[in-house]
Each structure stands twice: as structure tokens, then as C-alpha cells.
Amino acid sequence: MGGNSFGTLFRVTSFGESHGPGVGCVVDGCPAGLLLSAEDIKRDLVRRRPGHDGAAPQERAGVSSRNEEDEPEILSGVYEGKTLGTPIAVLVRNKDPRPDDYDYLKDLYRPGHADWPWEAKYGFRDHRGGGRSSARETVGRVAAGAIARAFLVSQGIEIRAWTSQAAGVDAPEPGMPESDAFDWNEIENNPLRMPDKAAADSALEKIKNLGAQGDSAGCTVSCIALNLPPGLGEPVFDKLDARIAAAMLSLGAAKAIEFGSGFAASKGRGSETNDCLTPPTDFAGELPPGVPPISFRSNNAGGVLGGLSTGAHLRFTVAFKPVPSIAMRQETIDRRGGKVEIANRGRHDVCVAPRVVPVVEAMCALVLADFVLLKRSDRAF
């Protein structure tokens, strides 16, 4: 089938291998009349590459030194600075390919990577930098997400993600009411995109040490979406949380997701985890006649009930495994079935934490843009 398209009305199709001519996407279904430029897309692509000219002054401890400019070119769908309602194709050329760096991997299957099952599936693969299963594939996601975000902003919706844990160091929770330790402005100020400088410093130290040992670190990324109208989601299968979960688990190193209090809720009691309804404080969203605005006294549900947005903040956390490419020696198998040892060379992040943050936002934006459009067909009148 492919499986490289995502969404129903706001639909992205992604393409590209790590060391082919380029990576990119086609966004079909973006409504017409939206202001959009290549700069809007580049802004998010830059955030995907911290440590270079990005917003976060990366100290390079944890991040690959592959130095690509990632210049997005809009090939179609935009005229005189506005979206036409036609497909928006975006191309980013691969500029810094050193495919020879990967020759030693040609006949090996790296532990923790898709090499072996990919070859079992297709009988054939582009081994250079992981080919299609490289993190470079997320360039297309981020470009598409930037377009989705432009649409969402026009609807008043905002998305924010951050590193909530890295190398075992937890960041504070944003909380409800707001936690003092959590600082929204800090997120883009430190190399790990954590909302607390002390936590970031501590985690960065650990990541450096792991990198020095030739090892790698895992992390979690949390995300919040503000000002969602209630009723986003299409039960019973295309629920808001179901689609967000699919979006996040489609990311390379993602291994888990939880909404609201998640796993903790599974050990709790109903009387604790139910979020009671109260008269509205700052309810956002238009309602059909006869439906009163409400608020919730807590948000254990993470802003989703029955697969629909509730009007409270959408809130979820994604767990990422440690980067599988490590310099330490590992046993594996080669193409002839023989035992071999491998020690990864080349440019690799130690932790996906800072770079995956805008990717999480992008995927969240894609899901929400689709549901905002789908919601327009809810009612006959």
C-alpha cells in the first residue's frame, strides 16, 4: 500500500531517502486563502537542527554534526503568497551526503534499527544512512506540519512540546495550576528543550558522559495543544487520541504514549481520576445551541473523553528509546547469516530529545488540522 500518506482531509504524503536526491512532502487538502511562504516552513526545519543556526544553541554533545541547510522549496500550491487549495509540494535537497561512510553497513543488520525487517519485507534496501527509515525522513513531516500549523494558527489553536525527561532526568510538570519550576520561555533556550535550566544542565551532563562512553540515552517529549474546540475526533476508530497515538508511534524511536495521567491512572480510582465538570472559567470554542460551556476541575483525561476533545488542553507524553546507533561494540548478523561485531561510526545523535520536539509538534499539528476540517461535517444545519 505504501503507508506514506497520513490524514483524510488535510493529507500529507511523504517521500525521500536519507541519501537520495531529496526528501519532502505533498500536502493535499490545505484550505485555500492561507498566507504561506517557504520561510514559514524553514522556521520549523531549523528547529529540527539545533546546534547550528537553530533557535536552540546546541552544544553538540547530543546531536549529529551532519550539516545540511535544509532549504525548503515550495513546488506548487501557493500563488502570490497564498495557498490555492491545490496540493502543496515541498522539496528539501539532501546536501551533505557522504554515502561512502556507510559502506561498512552494507551487508550488516544494525541492532535496534530497521535494517533486517526492512530487507525481509522488500528483499532489498538502500543501506545508506538507513535510507527511508532514517530520521531524515522527518524533514517531510516537519514541512507538512508547518503548513498545518499555519492553518491551526488561523483557527486560534496553539501547540507546544518540550523534553520532559532525558537520560533519566525529569523536567517539572506544567501543572494545573502552573508549576513555578516550569518555564515556557526556557524551552527554546537550552540545548535539550527542557522547561527548566537546572534539569537541562543535569541531563546534558549525563548525555555527554554517555556519548563519551559510546552509548546513548532515551527521553520523553510532552506536548500540549491549547484552544481546541470541543468535539474534535471521529469515533469510534478515528478518535482524537487514537490518531495522535498513531501519529506519534509512527516516529522512528517512539515506544510508548500516554494521555493525561496515563499509566498512573490505570493504578488509581475512579473518584480520583474522573475530571468533574464545573461552570466555565475560560472556555474556548463555539458550541451548538443548547450546549452550555463548561470547565473541568482537573485534567487527568488529557483533554480527551470518548475520543473527542473536551475543550481542556490536549496533553500527552511520548517515550523515545535511546538512539540505537552507538559506538560501543555490539554483536549482530551479516547478510550471509554469520556473526559479526559492529561499532557505529558516522554522525549520530546521542539522544533524540532536542530534535524530535518540533517533529512531535508537527505530527500533532497534522492530526489537529485534519480534525478541524472533518469537524465541519458534523451537523446537517
| Residues 311-330 within binding reach of a copy of itself (CB under 8 A) | 311, 319-326, 328, 330
Buried b (16+ CB within 10 A) or exposed e, 242-263: bbbbebbeebbbbeebbbbbee
Stretch in the footprint of a copy of itself (CB under 8 A) among 30-38, 48-56, 174-182, 194-202: 30-38
Q: What whole-number distance in Å separates Cα of residue 377 and Cα of residue 252?
A: 33
Q: What whole-number distance in Å separates Cα of residue 88 and Cα of residue 27?
A: 5
Instruction: Please state the closest distance from residue 306 (CB atom) to a copy of itself, in A.
Output: 2
202 binds a copy of itself (CB under 8 A): no
Q: Cell 554534526 identifies what position?
A: 65
Q: Which three cell numbers stand for residue 5?
A: 500518506
At 225 the three-state DSSP class reads strand
Radius of gyration of the chain (CA): 21
Q: Which three cell numbers stand for residue 243?
A: 490518531
146 binds a copy of itself (CB under 8 A): no
How many residues make contact with a copy of itself (CB under 8 A)? 167
Stretch in the footprint of a copy of itself (CB under 8 A) among 61-69, 126-134, 185-193, 197-205: 126-134
Instruction: Please state the closest distance from residue 47 (CB atom) to a copy of itself, in A.
Output: 20
281 binds a copy of itself (CB under 8 A): no
* Residue 199 main-chain phi, psi, to 5 deg: -60, -40
Stretch in the footprint of a copy of itself (CB under 8 A) among 40-48, 49-57, 180-188, 285-293: 285-293
Residues 6+ apart with CB under 8 A from 255: 319, 320, 321
| Nearer to a copy of itself among residue 15 and residue 104 (C-beta) | 15
Query: Alpha-carbon dihedral of residues 327, 18, 56, 197, nearest 10 degrees?
Result: -40
Per CB under 8 A, the list member of 4, 179, 189, 227 interacting with a copy of itself is: 4
245 binds a copy of itself (CB under 8 A): yes
Q: Cell 506514506 identifies what position?
A: 4
Q: What whole-number distance in Å separates Cα of residue 117 and Cα of residue 282?
A: 49
238 binds a copy of itself (CB under 8 A): yes
Q: What whole-number distance in Å separates Cα of residue 367 and Cα of residue 303?
A: 15
309 binds a copy of itself (CB under 8 A): yes
Which residue type sits at 256? A
156 binds a copy of itself (CB under 8 A): no
236 binds a copy of itself (CB under 8 A): yes
269 binds a copy of itself (CB under 8 A): yes
243 binds a copy of itself (CB under 8 A): yes
8 binds a copy of itself (CB under 8 A): yes
| Nearer to a copy of itself among residue 262 and residue 346 (C-beta) | 262
* Residue 218 main-chain phi, psi, to 5 deg: -95, 180
| Nearer to a copy of itself among residue 20 and residue 54 (C-beta) | 20
113 binds a copy of itself (CB under 8 A): yes
Query: By CB under 8 A, what part of segment 44-83 binds a copy of itself?
Result: 73-77, 79, 82-83
339 binds a copy of itself (CB under 8 A): yes
Instruction: Please state the closest distance from residue 327 (CB atom) to a copy of itself, in A.
Output: 10
195 binds a copy of itself (CB under 8 A): no
Closest CA relative to residue 341, chosen from 332, 350, 353: 332
275 binds a copy of itself (CB under 8 A): yes
Q: Cα separations (Å) of 366 from 30, 45, 165, 231, 313?
A: 10, 15, 24, 17, 17
